[in-house]
Structure 1
Amino acid sequence: MGMEIDSPIKLAGFWVRFVAFLLDALLVMAAIVILGLFFGGRGEILYILIILLYYMLLPATPLQGTVGKYFIGLRIVDNDGNRLTFPRSIARYFSYFFSNFFFVGYIMVGARVDKRGLHDLICKTKVISVTKTANVLVTTADK
């Protein structure tokens, strides 16, 4: 007999995903700057590889997302809540191409109840929050 979990999955909305994106952008830019110091601007292929590997492969690893998403407590999962396979992760990366048109795919994250962007819908994925929050009871004194 299966064990039921009482807590619903919390979907990650636009702003928390945007903060994770900013963290990722800073990390990738820092890596490129450091490599630029060593290769003197001749590492274009290496720069492209870093970006591709970072955004294509990390979601299929135990991190289940980029480093920015991981530190914020977000995970990319398929519709069934499983870790992405490498082919699905690669397809999700390339589906960003469609989300980038007028940023419509990203606006969808903020506008949709299920908080899924176009790239999520195309690849049957979602971004969930796995941070544990303490339930705090706040009381106010009656005056």
Structure 2
Amino acid sequence: MKFRTLKRQKKVKKTAVKYMYASYTHRVKAFITDMFMIYAPILYLIAYVFMDGKDDFQSSQLAPFIGVSIYGLIYAILLSKFGQTPGKKAYEIKVVDDKKGELISFFRAVCRFIAFLFTASTLLGLFLPFYRKDKKSLHDLICGTIVVIEKKD
């Protein structure tokens, strides 16, 4: 074979799109939905069931940490078992491994959540999907995940 033909074949293999990437707006809407469906009830339970109200919750440094930890645990369990949270399910998107397309492990889901907290606190990684074809955020790059449109079988 000619060198030119081999070079064209390599280019075709590299540019082949394997996934349908989820839009950034759907990802943000899914995140907001998860905040209302998972995180808000956790904070409510901590503030009004386990503590004496919002004043005690606001004065505590441990209560918000416990709330975020519980949310992160639930988030990691849902991602490792189903690949989706309720918000992602509502917008028909899924978090998968970027190489194999399979569900990620629990440990990797926890790492992705911790990386998301870092990404969200710096705001740098949240703007990354606007400049990438695969729409990966910084926490997706760190953990080797990708958010795709769920396939209907």
TM-score with structure 1 setting the length: 0.74
Q: Residue 112 of structure 1: CA displacement?
A: 1.1
Q: Secondary structure at the match of 1:116?
A: coil
From 40, 46, 60, the counterpart of 1:29:
40
Q: Residue 34 of structure 1: CA displacement?
A: 4.1
Q: Residue 46 of structure 1: CA displacement?
A: 5.2
Whole-Å Cα distance in 1 between the matches of residues 128 and 70 of structure 2? Answer: 28
**Distance change (3 Å), C-alpha of 1:54 and 1:108:** same
Q: Residue 32 of structure 1: CA displacement?
A: 2.2
From 62, 73, 89, the counterpart of 1:70:
89
Q: Residue 86 of structure 1: CA displacement?
A: 1.1
From 100, 103, 106, the counterpart of 1:86:
106
Q: Deviations over 1:16-37 (max 9, x none)?
A: 1000011011111133214533
Residue matched to 2:9: none
Residue matched to 1:51: 71
- After TM superposition, the structure 1 = structure 2 runs for residues 1-143 of structure 1, keeping only pairs within 5 Å, are 9-27=19-37, 28-41=39-52, 44=63, 47-62=67-82, 64-79=83-98, 80-130=100-150
The root-mean-square deviation of aligned C-alpha atoms, in Å, is 2.4
Q: Secondary structure at the match of 2:126?
A: helix
Q: Secondary structure at the match of 1:61?
A: helix
**Distance change (3 Å), C-alpha of 1:50 and 1:98:** closer
TM-score with structure 2 setting the length: 0.70
**Distance change (3 Å), C-alpha of 1:34 and 1:76:** same
The answer (yes or no) to whether the contact 2:95–2:147 under 8 Å persists in 1 is: yes
Q: Residue 67 of structure 1: CA displacement?
A: 1.6
- Structure 1 unaligned residues grouped into runs of 5+: 1-6, 133-143
Whole-Å Cα distance in 2 between the matches of residues 88 and 117 of structure 1? Answer: 15
Q: Secondary structure at the match of 1:11?
A: coil
Tell which deviates more after alignment, 14-23 or 90-99: 90-99
Q: Residue 40 of structure 1: CA displacement?
A: 3.1
Larger Rg, first or second structure (1 or 2): 2
User: How many residue pairs get matched?
Assistant: 125
Runs (4 or more) in structure 1 with deviation over 4 Å come to none
Whole-Å Cα distance in 2 between the matches of residues 102 and 96 of structure 1? Answer: 10
